[in-house]
Amino acid sequence: MKKRSTPISSSPSTPPPSSPQTLKTKQPFSQNSSKNPKRALLTTPPSSISPKWVPLNISKSELFLPLTFPTGQTFRWKQTGPLEFTGAVGSHLVSLKHLDNGDIAACFHHSKDGVFDAKLALLDFLNVGICLSDLWEEFSGSDSRFAQLAPYLGGARVLRQDPLECLLQFICSSNNNIKRITQMVDFISGLGVYLGTVEGFRFYEFPTLDRLSIVSEEELRVAGFGYRAKYITRTVDALRAKPGGGVEWLASLRDLDLQMAIDALSTLPGVGPKVAACVALFSLDQHHAIPVDTHVWQIATTYLIPELAGTRLTPKLYGRVSEAFVCKYGKYAGWAQTLLFIAELPSQKALIPSILWTTAEKKPSKPRKKKRSKNLI
């Protein structure tokens, strides 16, 4: 296998989007070990900031951590305490938790640029330029189903992730389960610069394209990526070949209309309609992108396009589902879809009355011979 070039520093993040209203204010894979010579130079202990919780003036109704981080948007954040999650935002290692009054506070464990820049990057990542309460009120006024669910699922916010980070996570997610996706994403993350350890979890800055290019398809297959290994390496190569740079090319998709962004993403290996829609919604400011899977198809055919109930989801009908959501919820339809999707997750159904479940939980009449994978993405 040929070796590729050495890593470079990450490009700066893009500025936050314009928005309707601003808020008022355990163990990773063994390959993450520094015994691996490729990683030895990347695991120098960082200089740290003394842990201190800083209130962010974000209410629980605007951000509820358990309905935002462990619900399939990102696989890089870890639960490090009751109502507390920790992750990397660029080169910043951050913990978030709910205070006694429900508001959000942040602890900046490490930041080479200081707390001020770390806070700006965090607020951009949390998409605070969009007022969730206003959206929830608007959606509830136009949809009785949403109005019924909203009181139980408040604070389910859509994140604004780094596009490269988001893209590679969702290539890993294709036809996969949560546990395995997380292991793959942990492996990729471990290629980056070590930021610190919180509650036994090691955290890393997401690796650059040049750093990723060093890893071969064979190494990824050995690490358990399966057929996705070739999609990761080929996508990295395709991005590095982009004029002006792959990171810049991905960021430029924020300025395109949704279909153009989807079409551009779909030229990359391993990126189909659903992965492209996830990347568009969760990192490219395409707020009306609708990722369609079996859960979303069931929601659509039950409440939005019941005439298609009982039919099979096809690429042509994928477009019908997206159109139905946008027609119902408007230019922030992806945010509405996110709440409706969360309501279907087994881990979140306990939060809502069973009468509001789209489908009732049924016990199998006979023991299953084969155990099916859970939490498929």
Cβ atoms of 106 and 193 within 8 Å: the answer is no
Of 97, 119, 274, 328, the catalytic one is 274
Q: Tell me how far apart the alpha carbons of residues 53 and 14 are, in angstroms, rounded to a whole number.
A: 26
Q: Which helix (H) or strand (E) holds 98?
A: strand 92-98
Q: Where are the strands (E) in 323-363, listed by range?
A: none
DSSP letters of 104-120?
EEEEEEE-TT-HHHHHH
Cβ atoms of 239 and 246 within 8 Å: the answer is yes
Two tokens at 318?
Answer: 């994928």
Q: Tell me how far apart the alpha carbons of residues 193 and 120 are, in angstroms, rounded to a whole number.
A: 21
Q: Is 13 helix (H, G, I), strand (E, B) or coil?
A: coil
The yes-or-no answer on residue 374 being catalytic is no
Cβ atoms of 162 and 209 within 8 Å: the answer is no
Q: Which helix (H) or strand (E) holds 79?
A: strand 78-81
φ and ψ at residue 310, rounded to 5 degrees: 90, -10
Q: Tell me how far apart the alpha carbons of residues 25 and 241 are, in angstroms, rounded to a whole number.
A: 42
Q: Is 130 helix (H, G, I), strand (E, B) or coil?
A: strand
Partnered with residue 78 across adjacent β-strands are: 86
- Which CA distances in Å does 151 have to 70, 147, 148, 277, 289? 19, 7, 7, 27, 24
CA dihedral for 266, 272, 276, 279, sign (positive or negative): negative
Q: End-to-end alpha-carbon separation of the chain, Å?
A: 32
Q: State the DSSP code for 285.
A: -
Two tokens at 321?
Answer: 């589902």
Two tokens at 298?
Answer: 């069931």
Catalytic residues: 274
